[in-house]
C-alpha cells in the first residue's frame, strides 16, 4: 500500500466482525481505527462518536507527498491472533504494540494493551490530581465526576491523550542510540524522542499503567487511535491541536489581570467593599467574581433582588467598568423546575427551555429531573441539540442575552458541568410539588457544618489559634455524635456488577466496573439512562456535557458581545474545550500539597490545549493561613489564569487580610503586570501555532533526562523560569538550571546577574517568606510595560525591554499587539527583536497604531565596559549606566526619542 493509502481489513476471526482502518494522514500522524462491521441507527451511539460533537482528524491535503517521509510505520498480524505494532522508522523503536495480548471488543467493554519500555515516562491522561509524570503503577480513570479534587482519582475533565518521552544514550564514537531506562549521569550525552497517543473515545475509560505495559479499557465506543510522531513535545502538542482538538481560544487582554472571588460575598455592598479594599491597600484588581450567592434561590439567570438587585447592580457595575475593571458571575448547569402547584414559584427560564425541547428526558419521554443547588432540576440536552436540532443552544443564548440586559457581566464561569446531580436517577419526577427543596446535605456554615480545617504546619506557626480551633472542632464532633445517637454499623462501598445479556446493555450498572471516584456511574451525576432527544442515552455521551455547555456558552457570548472574544472558565472539559474556554483546577483544598499539585495540573492542561488555566489560589476548601497564602499568591501570579477563591464560611483570604500577604502579592503582581506584554504575546503564539504557555523543563530541554519528573519549577513561555517555595516553613528552595552544561545561561530577575550552576546541580536559593525566585533565560528579549492597577492602565503606559544575552552575545524575542478584545482584528502589530554584535534591533510589521513611547532598555550580560550608546546613530549622552560587577547596561530617558511610539519606526541601539 502507498504511504497515503487507507487500508480496510475485516477481522472476521473475532466473535464480532470488525473493520480495521489504517490511514497515514500526514507526515507525522497515523490513524488506526477498529470498529464493528455492522453498525446502524439502532446501535450507532454504542460505537460511533459523531464528528459534529468531536471533530475527527482527516487526511491532510498534501498527504500524498508528505506521508512518503513519515517516521511512523504500521504492521499487523493474525498469527496467532490479531495484533498491530506502530514503530518509529528512524530509530526502529516500537511505540505501541498489542502483540502477545488479546483485543477484547464488546458493545460495553473494549480492552487493548501495549508493551512499554522500562521506567517509561507518560504525561497527560487527565483530569487528575497527580504528579506530572504518571508513573508505572497507576490507574487513570476518565469519567467526568463532581468530586472535590481527591488525589489520584478521576475528577471533572476527560482527556484521553498521553505524551510518551524516551531517552537514549548517545555513543560518542558511533552515534548509536541505546535506550536509557535509568539516565542519571548529569554530564552524559543523551537525546530524547517523544510521541503522542490520542484515543478519540468519549465513553468511560480506564488506563492501567504497569511496569511493563499500558492497558486501555473503555465501556463503549471503538478503538480510534491517533499517533503523533513528534519527535519533540512541542511538535506533538502542535500537531495534536492542529489536527484533532483545535487551537486555544485567544483571550481578551483584561483576563490576564488578577481575579478575586469567594463563595460568601453576600451582597453588592460587600462586593464594593472588597473592590475598595484592594484599592486602599494598593493591590491591583482587574476582575471581581460572584459565586451562587447572587442567585435568586440558586437559580440561573435570576438575581436575588434583596441582596443583588438589578438597580444596585447597575450602579456597581457602571462604576466598576469606569474603573477599567470587570465582573464575572457563576452559571450552573442545571435548571430549576418550578412547583406546579405554586403560581408564585414561576421560573421563566425553565418554561422557555421546556418549550424549546431543551432538556434531557427519561426513557419514557418525560423530563429527567435530578437535584442540584436550587432543588429539583432539569439538565440542558446539548447532545440532542447538536445531533437532532432541538433548541437548547438557542434557548441558552437567549437566556444569556436576557440576563445581560439586567446585569452587565464581562464573562461567564460555568460550574457543575460533569453534569452533577445530588440524587440518583430522576428523583424529582414525582416530587416537584415539594420544590424548592434544600440540597440533601448541609452547606458550609450551617449548624453542625463549621469549617475547621487548616494547612499543614498551622499548629507550628499559629499554636494558640490552632489550640482554640482543635478544641472547638472536638466539641462540635462530640455534640454531633451525641445528637446522632449510637453509630450506624460500618459498611463498605458496594459495587454492583451485572451479568451480561446478549443484545442487552446494562447501562446503569455495566458488567465491568471502572474505578470511579463516586462508585456507581449514577452517583453525583445524571443517570446513564437519561435520554437525549433522538433516543441516545447519557451512558454514551456523559463525558461530553461539560464540553458542549462550553460550546453553547461561547456562542451565546458571541450574541451578547458581537465581535468580542468570549471569556469563559469552565469546570468539566473534554479534548477540544480549549478552543472555547479556559479551566480552573476545581475545588482544591488549602493545603501545601495542593499548591504543589497545581503546577502539574497546569502543565497537563498545556498538553491538552487549554493554556488558560489556574487554580483556586490559597485553596478553596478549608481555611488557609498567612504563610500558605503568601507563597500561593506569588506562585499563581505566574499562571495564565490568576484567581483567589474560597468556600463559604471559611475565613476570608483576600490578599490584604495579612500584611505580609499583601506585600508578597504586590511584589509578584509587579512582575506579572510588568510582563503582561510578554504573557500576552506568548498566549497569542499558543493561539496561532499550538505552542504551550506554561512549560515543563523537560519539554524545553528534551535531552536532559534528569528533568523528566521535575514538576516543582516550570517555565512561563520559553524565557522565564519560576522556582517557587512549596514547603511549609522553608526559607530556601532547591532549583535546577537546565541547559547550563549545553551553553545556556540564566539571570536572576532581581539582581540581574548571571547564575553560576553546574549541569544537573540542585542549587540552594534563598527564598524568605514574600520572595519567589524568578529567572530569565539567556538569549531572550522580554517586552514590558510599566505596571498599573488595571490592564487598561498598563496598556497606556510606556514600553520597556529586558534583554538577556546568551553566552554568544545574542538574543531574540517578539511582541504582539492588538486591540485586546476583538475576535477578528482589523489591525495588529508584531515587533521582532534581535541582538548581535553589541546591537539591538527592533523591527515592526503591521498597521496597529500604538503611540506609547519607549521608556527604558535593560541589557543583561554585557561582558565589557561601555563607553558610548547610540540610537539610530544618534549618541545618547546621558541616561545610561553600566554596572561592571553585574554586567548590566541600563538605558533610560528614551521617551523623547520615541515620542511617536516605541515601534512607529524601526530602530537599532548600539553600544561599545
Active-site positions?
415, 418, 587
Distance CA 466, CA 93 (A): 56
Asked if 628 and 619 count as a contact pair (C-beta separation under 8 A), the reply is: yes
Residue 142 β-bridge partners: 205
C-alpha span between 423 and 525 (Å, rounded):
8
C-alpha span between 436 and 459 (Å, rounded): 42
d(C-alpha 234, C-alpha 211), whole Å: 26
Q: Which residues of 191-217 are buried (b: 16+ CB within 10 A; e: fewer)?
A: bbbbbbbbbbbbbbbbbbbeeebbebb
Which grid coordinates belong to 710? 521535575
The C-alpha atoms of residue 828 and residue 390 are separated, in whole angstroms, by: 39
C-alpha cell at 150: 481527591
Using CA atoms, how far residue 851 sits from 194, 228, 756, in Å, is: 44, 44, 40
Determine contact, residues 162/10, Cβ cutoff 8 Å.
Answer: no
Length in residues, the chain:
912
CA distance 530 to 225: 28
SS3 147: coil
What is the Cα–Cα distance from 739 to 778, expressed in whole angstroms?
A: 10
DSSP secondary structure letter of residue 244: I
Q: How far apart are CA 881 and CA 752, in angstroms?
A: 14
Q: What is the DSSP letter of 621?
A: B
Q: Scan for cell 461530553, then name that residue.
A: 544
All three cell numbers of 882? 553600566
Q: 124: alpha, beta or left, given left = phi > 0 and alpha = psi -120 to 50? A: left
Contact 691, 685 (CB under 8 A): yes
Three-state DSSP at 527 gives: coil
Alpha-carbon span 491 to 647, nearest angstrom: 30
Question: What three-state secondary structure class fits 732?
Answer: strand
Angle at 513 between CA 508 and CA 518, to 5 degrees: 75
* Residue 407, all three cell numbers: 446585569
Cα–Cα distance between 792 and 789 in angstroms, integer?
8
Helix (H) or strand (E) holding 312: helix 310-322
> What is the C-alpha separation between 874 and 492, in angstroms, rounded?
81
Peptide bond into 781 cis (omega under 30): no
b/e sequence 458-475, b meaning 16+ C-beta within 10 Å: beebbeeebeebeeeeee
Structure letter (DSSP) for residue 83: E
Is residue 97 within a helix (H) or strand (E), and if so which, with residue range? strand 94-97
Q: Which residue has the cell 458488567?
A: 511
Q: If you ran DSSP here, which 8-state letter would residue 488 be given?
A: P
Q: What angle do CA 61, 67, 68 make, to 5 degrees?
A: 130
Looking up cell 523623547 gives: 896
Looking up cell 530577575, which residue turns up? 749
Contact 300, 399 (CB under 8 A): yes
**Angle at CA 379, nearest 5°, toward 373 and 385?**
155
The three three-digit cell numbers of residue 290, written as one number: 460572584
Q: Rounded to a whole number, what is the largest CA-CA distance in the chain?
A: 89
Amino acid at each position: 500500500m502507498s504511504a497515503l493509502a487507507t487500508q480496510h481489513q475485516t477481522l472476521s476471526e473475532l466473535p464480532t466482525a470488525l473493520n480495521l482502518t489504517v490511514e497515514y494522514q500526514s507526515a507525522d500522524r497515523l490513524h488506526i481505527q477498529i470498529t464493528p462491521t455492522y453498525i446502524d441507527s439502532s446501535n450507532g451511539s454504542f460505537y460511533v462518536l459523531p464528528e459534529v460533537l468531536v471533530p475527527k482528524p482527516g487526511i491532510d491535503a498534501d498527504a500524498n507527498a508528505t506521508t512518503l517521509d513519515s517516521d511512523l510505520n504500521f504492521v499487523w498480524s493474525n498469527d496467532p491472533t490479531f495484533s498491530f505494532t506502530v514503530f518509529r522508522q528512524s530509530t526502529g523503536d516500537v511505540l505501541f504494540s498489542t502483540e502477545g495480548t488479546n483485543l477484547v471488543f464488546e458493545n460495553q467493554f473494549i480492552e487493548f494493551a501495549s508493551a512499554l519500555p522500562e521506567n517509561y515516562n507518560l504525561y497527560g491522561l487527565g483530569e487528575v490530581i497527580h504528579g506530572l509524570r504518571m508513573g508505572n503503577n497507576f490507574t487513570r480513570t476518565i469519567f467526568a465526576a463532581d468530586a472535590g479534587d481527591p488525589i489520584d482519582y478521576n475528577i471533572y475533565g476527560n482527556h484521553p491523550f498521553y505524551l510518551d518521552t524516551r531517552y537514549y544514550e548517545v555513543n560518542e564514537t558511533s552515534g548509536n542510540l541505546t535506550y536509557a531506562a535509568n539516565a542519571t549521569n548529569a554530564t552524559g550525552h543523551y537525546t530524547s524522542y517523544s510521541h503522542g497517543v490520542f484515543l478519540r473515545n468519549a465513553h468511560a475509560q480506564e488506563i492501567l499503567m504497569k511496569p511493563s505495559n499500558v492497558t486501555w479499557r473503555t465501556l463503549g465506543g471503538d478503538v480510534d487511535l491517533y499517533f503523533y510522531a513528534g519527535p519533540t513535545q512541542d511538535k506533538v502538542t502542535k500537531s495534536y491541536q492542529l489536527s484533532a482538538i483545535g487551537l486555544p481560544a485567544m483571550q481578551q487582554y483584561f483576563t490576564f489581570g488578577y481575579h478575586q472571588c469567594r463563595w460568601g460575598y453576600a451582597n453588592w455592598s460587600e462586593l464594593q467593599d472588597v473592590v475598595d479594599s484592594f484599592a486602599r491597600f494598593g493591590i491591583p484588581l482587574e476582575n471581581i467574581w460572584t459565586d451562587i450567592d447572587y442567585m435568586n434561590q440558586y437559580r440561573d439567570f435570576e438575581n436575588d433582588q434583596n441582596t443583588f438587585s438589578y438597580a444596585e447592580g447597575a450602579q456597581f457595575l457602571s462604576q466598576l467598568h469606569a474603573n477599567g475593571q470587570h465582573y464575572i458571575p457563576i452559571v450552573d448547569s442545571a435548571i430549576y423546575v418550578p412547583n406546579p402547584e405554586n403560581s408564585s414559584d414561576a421560573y421563566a427560564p425553565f418554561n422557555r427551555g421546556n418549550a424549546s425541547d431543551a432538556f434531557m428526558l427519561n426513557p419514557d419521554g418525560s423530563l429527567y429531573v435530578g437535584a442540584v443547588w436550587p432543588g429539583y432540576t432539569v439538565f440542558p440536552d446539548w447532545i440532542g441539540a447538536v445531533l437532532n436540532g432541538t433548541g437548547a443552544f438557542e434557548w441558552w443564548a437567549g437566556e444569556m442575552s436576557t440576563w445581560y440586559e439586567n446585569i452587565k457581566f464581562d464573562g461567564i464561569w460555568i460550574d457543575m458541568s460533569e453534569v452533577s446531580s445530588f440524587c440518583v436517577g430522576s428523583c424529582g419526577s414525582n416530587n416537584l410539588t415539594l420544590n424548592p427543596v434544600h440540597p440533601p446535605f448541609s452547606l458550609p456554615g450551617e449548624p453542625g457544618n463549621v469549617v475547621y480545617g487548616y494547612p499543614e504546619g498551622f499548629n507550628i506557626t499559629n499554636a494558640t489559634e490552632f489550640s482554640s480551633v482543635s478544641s472547638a472542632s472536638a466539641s462540635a464532633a462530640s455534640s454531633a455524635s451525641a445528637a446522632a445517637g449510637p453509630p450506624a454499623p460500618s459498611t463498605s462501598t458496594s459495587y454492583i456488577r451485572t451479568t451480561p445479556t446478549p443484545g442487552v446493555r446494562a447501562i446503569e450498572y455495566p458488567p465491568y466496573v471502572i474505578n470511579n471516584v463516586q462508585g456507581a456511574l449514577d452517583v453525583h451525576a445524571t443517570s446513564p439512562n437519561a435520554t437525549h432527544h433522538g433516543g441516545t442515552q447519557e451512558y454514551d455521551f456523559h463525558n461530553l456535557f461539560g464540553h458542549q455547555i462550553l460550546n453553547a456558552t461561547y456562542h451565546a457570548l458571541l450574541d451578547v458581545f458581537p465581535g468580542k472574544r468570549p471569556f469563559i472558565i469552565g469546570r468539566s472539559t473534554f479534548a477540544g474545550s480549549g478552543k472555547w474556554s479556559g479551566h480552573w483546577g476545581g475545588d482544591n483544598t488549602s493545603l501545601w500539597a495542593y499548591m504543589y499539585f497545581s503546577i502539574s495540573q497546569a502543565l497537563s492542561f498545556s498538553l491538552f490545549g487549554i493554556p488558560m488555566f489556574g487554580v483556586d489560589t490559597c485553596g478553596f476548601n478549608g481555611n488557609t493561613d498567612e504563610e500558605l497564602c503568601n507563597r500561593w499568591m506569588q506562585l499563581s501570579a505566574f499562571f495564565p489564569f490568576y484567581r483567589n477563591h474560597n468556600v463559604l464560611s471559611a475565613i476570608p483570604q483576600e490578599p490584604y487580610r495579612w500584611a505580609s500577604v499583601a506585600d508578597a502579592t504586590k511584589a509578584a503582581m509587579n512582575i506579572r503586570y510588568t510582563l503582561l506584554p510578554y504573557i500576552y504575546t506568548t498566549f497569542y503564539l499558543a493561539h496561532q501555532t499550538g505552542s504551550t504557555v506554561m512549560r515543563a523543563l523537560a519539554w524545553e530541554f528534551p535531552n536532559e533526562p534528569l528533568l523528566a519528573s521535575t514538576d516543582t519549577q516550570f517555565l512561563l513561555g520559553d524565557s522565564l523560569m519560576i522556582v517557587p517555595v512549596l514547603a511549609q516553613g522553608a526559607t530556601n528552595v532547591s532549583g535546577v538550571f537546565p541547559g547550563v552544561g549545553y551553553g545556556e545561561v540564566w539571570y536572576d530577575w532581581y539582581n540581574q546577574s548571571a547564575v553560576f550552576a553546574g549541569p544537573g546541580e540542585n542549587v540552594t536559593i534563598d527564598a524568605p517568606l514574600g520572595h519567589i525566585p524568578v529567572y530569565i533565560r539567556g538569549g531572550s528579549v522580554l517586552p514590558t510595560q510599566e505596571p498599573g492597577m488595571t490592564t487598561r492602565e498598563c496598556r497606556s503606559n510606556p514600553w520597556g525591554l529586558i534583554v538577556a544575552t546568551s553566552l554568544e552575545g545574542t538574543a531574540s524575542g517578539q511582541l504582539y499587539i492588538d486591540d485586546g478584545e476583538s475576535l477578528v482584528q482589523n489591525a495588529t502589530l508584531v515587533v521582532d527583536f534581535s541582538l548581535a554584535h553589541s546591537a539591538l534591533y527592533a523591527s515592526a510589521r503591521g498597521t496597529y497604531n500604538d503611540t506609547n513611547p519607549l521608556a527604558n532598555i535593560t541589557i543583561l550580560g554585557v561582558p565589557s565596559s561601555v563607553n558610548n550608546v547610540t540610537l539610530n546613530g544618534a549618541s545618547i549622552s546621558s541616561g545610561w549606566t553600566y554596572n561592571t560587577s553585574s554586567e548590566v547596561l541600563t538605558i533610560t530617558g528614551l521617551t523623547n526619542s520615541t515620542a511617536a511610539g516605541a515601534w512607529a519606526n524601526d530602530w537599532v541601539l548600539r553600544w561599545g
